[in-house]
């Protein structure tokens, strides 16, 4: 028979030993785990400009293509002291006051020399969060590439948002109409047709995820709207100036 | 006289759970994770290995300290050992096979509640010597893993036309009108696949069929 005293001492020693062992494991593996998360983020950002990188090449390719990153405050002024890459979008969207949120922006130079602007965004799917990176061409209107992923959408249905087949539909779509009004890009039930510049086919059976994705794109770009409109104006005046010079 | 490490009796501990005493198809334990992680072959293999490591080493540890464990808190002691091993496995997966660990998500953590692990500790490791317990743990983990891998094989092959992410079903078949079976990647089909495996196993082994 074991006495109460024995049981107390036994369990105290047991939890101490276990606690030390687990702490050692957790502390020693932490740098590797954090590197994995960083590399995955790089892969995701590269995917938005249609570059598929293996975990090994991600760091080199990221350095090669992503030439600059900015952190923008909610009023779209720059916050130079904060590294854009270190911003956790999940934490930003949880901030109670929208004016406190930070908006990262990545700038990539593509193989053909064009500049592309990558906007991270985050939204809600059916079962959990969905997120993505959307790259715009240097007209600040046309989508160059997208990358979407999800935490736990239904396989074969909502989870299809992370497939190439779904994402390729977004290429060349525009987020402003001819008059310069903001339209974003929506997923359309029953099919958008290739002529629709602001819509893609929604996923049948994945309505809630599709709607969540539409809302994510709309809210995502809406936050950057002042920045985008300012840039579009700049692009237009540059073109006119260029025209008069010739 | 000392018994050899791999005597016939010890080997039976390893091979028994693979067939006649299989934890999934005969004892019907651990079904939940078998349904969840078998959409693709790779997570199924990693899960199989993880469970084997946990059952093997928890059996070994518990069996080594079995005479010191006060019976009144034995379940707590067992759970602490299982939970610690699972946390270590989870941390290792996150550090070295990050993509798979994301797919397995909560199911690695849920190994703690896998009935196979605790069942083996209570039924075997608490009463047997460490080496035999270790073999029993590895055997049961492998028996569980065998079914997981078999289910994962058919689900990925028929559901996505791939194995371990490589395209297996040739392209010309798709052009001729072949389609992947979308049902295969949903959980109900995992249950049906396990059912079919149980059916085949029982037809091959008459002793598994109830007399009545």
pLDDT tens digits, B154-206: 998 888 888 887 888 888 888 888 888 878 888 888 899 999 998 998 888 88
A174/chain B closest Cα distance in angstroms: 32
Q: Which residues contact B180 (CB under 8 A, 6 or more apart)?
A: B158, B159, B160, B161, B169
Query: In this complex, do A155 and B96 lie within 8 Å of one another by their Cβ atoms?
Result: no
Judging contacts by C-beta atoms under 8 Å, the chain A residues touching residue B80 are 14-15, 18
Query: In this complex, do B186 and A156 lie within 8 Å of one another by their Cβ atoms?
Result: yes
pLDDT digits (tens, 9 = 90+) for A45-97: 999 998 888 888 888 999 889 988 888 888 888 887 888 888 888 888 888 88
Query: In this complex, do A36 and B94 lie within 8 Å of one another by their Cβ atoms?
Result: yes
pLDDT for the residue B77:
93
Phi, psi of A171 (to 5 degrees): -60, 130
Query: In this complex, do A2 and B71 lie within 8 Å of one another by their Cβ atoms?
Result: yes
- SS3 call for A47: helix
pLDDT at A242 over 60: no
Instruction: Compute the distance between CA of residue A241 and CA of residue B26 in angstroms, rounded to an integer.
Output: 79
Structure tokens belonging to residue B11: 């080997």
Residue of B nearest to A34 (CA): B95
pLDDT digits (tens, 9 = 90+) for A91-145: 888 888 888 888 999 999 988 888 999 999 999 999 899 999 999 998 889 999 9
A205 touches chain B (CB under 8 A): no
Structure tokens belonging to residue B37: 């992680």
Res. A16 pLDDT band, cuts 50 70 90 = very high
pLDDT for the residue A7:
93
Angle at the Cα of A37 from the Cα atoms of A32 and A40, rounded to 5 degrees:
120
Core vs surface per residue A77-114: b (16+ CB within 10 A) or e: eeeeeeebeebebeebbeeeeeeebbbbbbbbebeeee
Instruction: Compute the distance between CA of residue B65 and CA of residue B22 in angstroms, rounded to an integer.
Output: 27
Query: In this complex, do B76 and A11 lie within 8 Å of one another by their Cβ atoms?
Result: yes
Phi, psi of A188 (to 5 degrees): -120, 125
Judging contacts by C-beta atoms under 8 Å, the chain A residues touching residue B91 are 25-26, 29, 33
Reported residue count of chain B is 212
- What is the DSSP track for B53-78? HHHHHHHHHHHHTTTTS-GGGHHHHH
A156 touches chain B (CB under 8 A): yes
ipTM above 0.95, yes or no: no
A to B CB pairs, distance under 8 Å: 52
Interface test with A, best of B73, B77, B109, B167 (most A CBs within 10 A): B73
Contact map slice: B 119-178 vs A, CB within 8 A: none
pLDDT digits (tens, 9 = 90+) for A227-240: 888 888 888 777 66
Phi, psi of B22 (to 5 degrees): -60, 130
* Mean predicted lDDT score pLDDT of chain A: 87
pLDDT for the residue A245:
39
Judging contacts by C-beta atoms under 8 Å, the chain A residues touching residue B96 are 32
Contact map slice: B 4-63 vs A, CB within 8 A: 39
Q: Which residues contact B50 (CB under 8 A, 6 or more apart)?
A: B89, B93, B104, B108, B111
Identify which of A207, A206, A188 has the alpha carbon closest to the alpha carbon of residue A197: A188
Residue of A nearest to B184 (CA): A156
Angle at the Cα of A170 from the Cα atoms of A164 and A173, rounded to 5 degrees:
160
Judging contacts by C-beta atoms under 8 Å, the chain B residues touching residue A127 are none
B8/chain A closest Cα distance in angstroms: 36
A140/chain B closest Cα distance in angstroms: 33
Query: With pLDDT > 90 as the criterion, what percentage of chain A qualifies?
Result: 38
pTM comes to: 0.78
């Amino acid at each position: 028979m074991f006495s109460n005293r024995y049981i107390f001492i036994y369990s105290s020693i047991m939890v101490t030993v276990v606690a030390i062992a687990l702490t050692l494991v957790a502390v020693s593996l932490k740098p590797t785990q954090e590197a994995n998360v960083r590399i995955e983020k790089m892969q995701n950002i590269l995917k938005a400009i249609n570059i598929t990188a293996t975990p090994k090449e991600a760091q080199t390719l990221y350095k090669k293509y992503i030439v600059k990153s900015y952190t923008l405050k909610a009023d779209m002024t720059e916050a130079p002291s904060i590294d854009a890459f270190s911003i956790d979008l999940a934490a930003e969207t949880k901030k109670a006051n929208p004016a406190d949120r930070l908006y990262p922006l990545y700038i990539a130079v593509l193989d053909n020399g064009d500049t592309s602007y990558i906007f991270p965004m985050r939204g809600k799917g059916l079962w959990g969060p969905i997120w993505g990176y959307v790259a715009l061409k240097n007209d600040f209107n046309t989508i160059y590439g997208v990358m979407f992923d999800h935490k736990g959408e239904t396989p074969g249905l909502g989870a299809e948002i992370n497939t190439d087949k779904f994402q390729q539909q977004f290429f060349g779509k525009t987020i402003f109409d001819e008059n310069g009004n903001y339209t974003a890009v929506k997923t359309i039930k029953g099919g958008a047709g290739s002529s629709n510049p602001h819509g893609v086919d929604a996923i049948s059976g994945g309505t809630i995820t599709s709607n969540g994705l539409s809302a994510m794109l709309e809210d995502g770009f809406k936050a950057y709207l002042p920045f985008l409109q300012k840039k579009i104006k700049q692009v237009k005046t540059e073109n006119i100036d260029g025209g008069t010079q010739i | 006289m000392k018994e050899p490490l791999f005597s016939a009796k010890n080997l039976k501990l390893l091979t028994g759970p693979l067939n006649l005493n299989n934890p999934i198809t005969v004892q019907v334990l651990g079904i939940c994770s078998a349904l969840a992680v078998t959409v693709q072959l790779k997570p199924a293999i990693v899960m199989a290995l993880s469970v084997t490591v946990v059952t093997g080493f928890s059996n070994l540890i518990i069996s080594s300290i079995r005479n010191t464990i006060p019976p009144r808190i034995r379940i707590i002691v067992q759970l602490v050992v299982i939970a610690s091993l699972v946390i270590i496995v989870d941390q290792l997966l996150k550090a070295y096979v990050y993509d798979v660990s994301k797919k397995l998500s909560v199911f690695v953590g849920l190994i703690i509640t896998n009935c196979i692990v605790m069942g083996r500790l209570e039924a075997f490791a608490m009463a047997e010597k460490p080496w035999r317990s270790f073999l029993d743990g590895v055997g049961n983990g492998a028996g569980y893993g065998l079914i997981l891998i078999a289910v994962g094989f058919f689900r990925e092959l028929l559901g996505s036309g791939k194995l371990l992410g490589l395209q297996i079903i040739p392209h010309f078949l798709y052009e001729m009108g072949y389609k992947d079976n979308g049902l295969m990647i949903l959980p109900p089909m995992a249950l049906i696949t396990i059912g079919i495996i149980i059916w085949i196993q029982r037809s091959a082994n008459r002793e598994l069929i109830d007399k009545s």
